[in-house]
């Protein structure tokens, strides 16, 4: 595998991961609104979409990690767990793009985790209030 096809494959995997994680974040934002509006049927519908989207986004992450491991192996690096070790081995003109994509994946992943936690707390609050109102 030549370096151009390697970084091209990595860029594509990162973009795909960003797209799917962005889609998940969109569902989570919708769920937040639905929870505040106390719409249980709509929440159930979104829960299914969220579960599906989590699987898709997780698959993209695994694909990206596999590509990193393959590139690391090809570059005779110990492993692909440190993307910055791999990025610096690519031509200088592509390094900023890769760094930005990795940074955005990390930022988006953090936002997803925060929103998942927030929505879980809202669901707990919503459902406990609903149960005590009955």
For residues 98 and 30, give the distance between their C-alpha atoms in angstroms, rounded to a whole number.
30
For residues 54 and 21, give the distance between their C-alpha atoms in angstroms, rounded to a whole number.
8
Tens of pLDDT, residue by residue over 89-104, are: 999 999 999 999 999 9
DSSP secondary structure code for residue 21 in this structure: H
pLDDT score of 134 more than 60: no
Domains of the chain: 3-133 (1.20.58)
For residues 61 and 20, give the distance between their C-alpha atoms in angstroms, rounded to a whole number.
10
Tens of pLDDT, residue by residue over 3-60, are: 789 999 999 999 999 999 999 999 999 999 999 999 999 999 999 999 999 999 999 9
Average pLDDT over residues 59-63: 97
Instruction: Please tell me the predicted confidence (pLDDT) of residue 130.
Output: 62
């Amino acid at each position: 595998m030549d370096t151009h096809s390697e970084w091209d494959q990595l860029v594509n995997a990162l973009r795909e991961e960003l797209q799917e994680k962005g889609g998940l974040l969109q569902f989570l934002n919708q769920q937040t609104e639905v929870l505040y509006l106390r719409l249980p049927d709509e929440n159930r519908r979104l829960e299914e979409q969220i579960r599906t989207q989590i699987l898709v986004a997780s698959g993209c992450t695994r694909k990206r990690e596999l590509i990193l491991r393959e590139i690391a192996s090809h570059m005779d690096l110990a492993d692909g767990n440190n993307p910055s070790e791999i990025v610096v081995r690519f031509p200088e003109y592509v390094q900023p793009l890769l760094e930005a994509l990795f940074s955005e994946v990390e930022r988006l992943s953090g936002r997803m985790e925060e929103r998942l936690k927030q929505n879980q707390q809202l669901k707990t609050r919503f459902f406990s209030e609903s149960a005590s109102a009955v």
